[in-house]
Amino acid sequence: MSTVELTKDNFDEIVSGNDFVLIDFWAEWCGPCKQFGPVFERSSEKNADLVYAKVDTEAQPELAAAFQIQSIPTVMIVRENIAVFSQPGALPEAALEDVIGQARNLDMDEVRASVEEAQQQEAQKQDGQAAGE
Protein backbone atom coordinates (compact mmCIF):
# COMPACT_ATOMS: atom_id res chain seq x y z
CA MET A 1 0.00 0.00 0.00
CA SER A 2 1.26 3.46 -0.77
CA THR A 3 1.83 5.93 2.02
CA VAL A 4 -0.71 8.73 2.41
CA GLU A 5 0.34 12.30 3.11
CA LEU A 6 -1.59 13.63 6.10
CA THR A 7 -2.54 17.28 6.25
CA LYS A 8 -4.79 19.26 8.56
CA ASP A 9 -7.41 19.06 5.78
CA ASN A 10 -7.50 15.25 5.42
CA PHE A 11 -6.34 14.13 8.89
CA ASP A 12 -9.77 13.53 10.44
CA GLU A 13 -11.09 11.76 7.35
CA ILE A 14 -8.15 9.36 7.11
CA VAL A 15 -7.68 8.66 10.81
CA SER A 16 -11.40 8.40 11.60
CA GLY A 17 -12.11 6.42 8.46
CA ASN A 18 -9.60 3.66 9.24
CA ASP A 19 -9.23 1.36 12.26
CA PHE A 20 -5.42 1.19 12.25
CA VAL A 21 -3.17 4.03 11.09
CA LEU A 22 0.61 4.32 11.45
CA ILE A 23 1.82 7.91 11.30
CA ASP A 24 5.38 9.03 10.66
CA PHE A 25 6.03 12.63 11.74
CA TRP A 26 9.08 13.77 9.75
CA ALA A 27 10.79 16.66 7.97
CA GLU A 28 12.88 16.90 4.79
CA TRP A 29 15.95 18.27 6.61
CA CYS A 30 15.98 15.48 9.22
CA GLY A 31 18.72 12.88 8.68
CA PRO A 32 17.19 10.18 10.93
CA CYS A 33 13.84 10.77 9.17
CA LYS A 34 15.47 10.02 5.82
CA GLN A 35 17.01 6.85 7.25
CA PHE A 36 13.65 5.75 8.68
CA GLY A 37 11.67 6.47 5.49
CA PRO A 38 12.62 3.23 3.67
CA VAL A 39 11.90 1.19 6.84
CA PHE A 40 8.42 2.74 7.01
CA GLU A 41 7.85 2.03 3.29
CA ARG A 42 8.95 -1.62 3.56
CA SER A 43 6.66 -2.06 6.55
CA SER A 44 3.75 -0.65 4.53
CA GLU A 45 4.41 -3.30 1.87
CA LYS A 46 4.38 -6.08 4.50
CA ASN A 47 1.19 -4.81 6.18
CA ALA A 48 -1.05 -3.93 3.25
CA ASP A 49 -4.15 -4.06 5.50
CA LEU A 50 -2.96 -1.02 7.50
CA VAL A 51 -2.91 2.65 6.57
CA TYR A 52 0.53 4.26 6.55
CA ALA A 53 0.61 8.04 6.65
CA LYS A 54 3.29 10.71 6.86
CA VAL A 55 3.06 14.18 8.37
CA ASP A 56 5.64 16.68 7.13
CA THR A 57 6.09 18.70 10.32
CA GLU A 58 7.40 21.69 8.34
CA ALA A 59 4.34 21.82 6.08
CA GLN A 60 1.88 20.83 8.84
CA PRO A 61 3.04 22.57 12.03
CA GLU A 62 -0.53 22.55 13.41
CA LEU A 63 -0.64 18.75 13.37
CA ALA A 64 2.80 18.49 14.94
CA ALA A 65 1.71 20.92 17.67
CA ALA A 66 -1.62 19.15 18.23
CA PHE A 67 0.24 15.90 18.96
CA GLN A 68 3.00 17.66 20.93
CA ILE A 69 5.68 16.33 18.59
CA GLN A 70 8.99 17.58 19.97
CA SER A 71 11.41 15.22 18.23
CA ILE A 72 11.39 13.69 14.78
CA PRO A 73 10.98 11.18 13.46
CA THR A 74 8.11 10.19 15.73
CA VAL A 75 6.04 7.11 14.99
CA MET A 76 2.46 7.03 16.21
CA ILE A 77 -0.13 4.27 15.95
CA VAL A 78 -3.80 5.17 16.10
CA ARG A 79 -6.32 2.36 16.52
CA GLU A 80 -10.02 3.13 16.42
CA ASN A 81 -9.29 6.86 16.96
CA ILE A 82 -7.10 6.23 20.02
CA ALA A 83 -3.36 6.86 19.95
CA VAL A 84 -2.03 3.58 21.37
CA PHE A 85 1.68 4.18 20.65
CA SER A 86 3.92 7.17 20.14
CA GLN A 87 7.69 7.16 20.24
CA PRO A 88 10.35 9.50 18.90
CA GLY A 89 13.33 8.07 17.08
CA ALA A 90 13.99 6.03 13.98
CA LEU A 91 12.90 2.52 14.88
CA PRO A 92 14.80 -0.42 13.39
CA GLU A 93 12.66 -2.55 11.09
CA ALA A 94 12.32 -5.43 13.58
CA ALA A 95 11.28 -3.05 16.36
CA LEU A 96 8.65 -1.40 14.12
CA GLU A 97 7.20 -4.79 13.20
CA ASP A 98 7.17 -5.79 16.89
CA VAL A 99 5.29 -2.61 17.85
CA ILE A 100 2.78 -3.21 15.05
CA GLY A 101 2.24 -6.76 16.31
CA GLN A 102 1.68 -5.53 19.85
CA ALA A 103 -0.77 -2.89 18.62
CA ARG A 104 -2.64 -5.51 16.57
CA ASN A 105 -2.99 -7.67 19.70
CA LEU A 106 -4.43 -4.95 21.92
CA ASP A 107 -7.88 -5.56 23.33
CA MET A 108 -9.48 -2.32 22.21
CA ASP A 109 -12.40 -2.76 24.61
CA GLU A 110 -9.87 -2.71 27.47
CA VAL A 111 -8.09 0.29 25.93
CA ARG A 112 -11.37 2.23 25.60
CA ALA A 113 -12.30 1.38 29.20
CA SER A 114 -8.88 2.57 30.38
CA VAL A 115 -9.18 5.82 28.42
CA GLU A 116 -12.68 6.40 29.78
CA GLU A 117 -11.49 5.80 33.35
CA ALA A 118 -8.59 8.22 32.91
CA GLN A 119 -10.95 10.85 31.49
CA GLN A 120 -13.32 10.42 34.44
CA GLN A 121 -10.46 10.76 36.90
CA GLU A 122 -9.26 13.91 35.15
CA ALA A 123 -12.79 15.36 35.19
CA GLN A 124 -13.12 14.61 38.92
CA LYS A 125 -9.75 16.21 39.57
CA GLN A 126 -10.80 19.33 37.67
CA ASP A 127 -14.15 19.40 39.47
CA GLY A 128 -12.31 19.19 42.80
CA GLN A 129 -9.99 22.04 41.83
CA ALA A 130 -12.92 24.15 40.69
CA ALA A 131 -14.79 23.49 43.95
CA GLY A 132 -11.73 24.51 45.96
CA GLU A 133 -11.33 27.87 44.20
25 is catalytic: no
Find the catalytic residue in 15, 21, 23, 30.
30
CA-CA distances (angstroms) from residue 108 to 61, 85, 116, 128?
A: 30, 13, 12, 30
- Clarify whether 56 is annotated catalytic: no
Give the sign of the dihedral formed by CA 5, CA 32, CA 41, CA 52: negative
Q: List Cα–Cα distances, 85 to 15, 78, 98, 104, 130, in angstroms.
A: 14, 7, 12, 11, 32
In the set 33, 50, 64, 100, the catalytic residue is 33
Name the residues annotated as catalytic.
Answer: 30, 33
